[in-house]
Amino acid sequence: MSILKIAIQKSGRLNEDSIQILKDSGISIDNGNDQLKATATNFPLEVYFLRNSDIPQYLIDGVVDAAIVGDNLLVEKGRNIQVVEKLGFSKCKVSVAVPKNFNYNSITDLNGLQIATSYPKTVSAYFKARQVEIDIHQISGSVEIAPNIGLSDAIVDIVSSGSTLFKNNLKEVEVILKSEAVLAVSPLISDESNQILDKLLFRIQSVLRARKSKYILMNVPNEKIQEISKILPVLKSPTIMPLAEENWSSLHSVIEEEKFWEVIDQLKAAGAEGILVCPIEKIVL
């Protein structure tokens, strides 16, 4: 029987969210402490727990069929690796940062300076495209301390909240790229494994739709149903159920969470009352 081999980060910011999205997709994984490999009990899936920086090469070589990995890592190390879905978590930026006392006006201020980074290819391509010559000092881990100990004039590193930069007296001055976790596929994946991947992708997409949406219920005067229905961005059309109180109905719909606050005042102004917003576990289209 064919089995899909998927890699996720062994530890770090991507690990927990990667495991969670698989679990939310109905996949049970018995992963004990320090396991390098775990098999799902209810889906043809084998999970490899790998060092983050090694994952692109495992995909390229076909050792694993797919991976949940940061998009920034694929930009740096991936080639011929297809991204089939953006997963919406572990969002970050790969940014240029300089000491707070650096008088920065534009990227040309970095011309001829030394930049420490774990992303030499990404950095080289970015500065070359802007015709700025730099000296790259490649290091791994604790990149942000490089200017403080005289290893570099600036850095390029992952920025999430910016707290690490602040603690090291650095400021962000350029964003090279924005990144998030993605589901990536090996160019050597077999047809059998690709069929399993399609089933996994279907599940993941159902989870992602639900994470972005909310189930909304409200009491509406019957004469306002049409007006309120036009306000709501819905999958197709709202569900209408009569209430015990005459000339009133309960209107049910699905709304994108980010759009809710845009329309809430309109709903209330149009006569909606008792508005409830509930989480959704899955949306299957």
Long-range (24+ apart) CB contacts under 8 A made by 145-152 are 146/116, 147/98, 147/99, 147/116, 151/114, 151/116, 152/113, 152/114, 152/115, 152/116
Q: What is the pLDDT of residue 32?
A: 62
| Mean pLDDT within 20-42 | 87
Residues 197, 66 contacting (CB under 8 angstroms): yes
Amino acid identity for residue 17 in this structure: D
Q: Which two tokens stand for residue 173?
A: 């001055």
The conformational region for residue 92 under phi > 0 = left, psi -120 to 50 = alpha, else beta, is beta
Amino acid identity for residue 77 in this structure: K
Identify the bridge partners of residue 174 per DSSP, sorted by sequence position.
96
Q: Which two tokens stand for residue 98?
A: 């300089």
* Domain architecture of the chain: domains with CATH: 4-89+180-189 (3.40.190.10), 92-179 (3.40.190.10), 213-279 (3.30.70.120)
pTM score > 0.75 for this model?
A: yes
Helical residues (DSSP H) of the chain, grouped into ranges = 13-24, 55-61, 71-77, 120-129, 163-167, 191-212, 225-231, 257-269
What's the per-residue H, E or C state across 110-167? HCCCEEEECCHHHHHHHHHHCCCCCEEEECCCCHHHCHHHCCCCEEEEEECCCHHHHH
Residues 81, 119 contacting (CB under 8 angstroms): no
* Mean pLDDT over each residue of the chain, to the nearest integer: 92
Look-up: residue for tokens 């949940």? 68
pLDDT tens per residue, range 97-119: 999 999 999 999 999 999 999 99
Amino acid identity for residue 10 in this structure: K
| Mean pLDDT within 83-96 | 95
pLDDT tens per residue, range 218-261: 999 999 999 998 888 666 678 999 999 999 999 999 888 888 88
Angle (deg, nearest 10), helices 191-212 and 13-24: 90
pLDDT tens per residue, range 169-185: 999 999 999 999 999 99
Q: Look at residues 238, 260, 264 and name the one whose alpha carbon lies nearest to residue 251.
A: 238
Q: What is the pLDDT of residue 285?
A: 80
CA geometry: angle at 161 spanning 155 and 165, to 5°? 35
Instruction: For residues 123 and 175, give the distance between their C-alpha atoms in angstroms, rounded to a whole number.
Output: 11
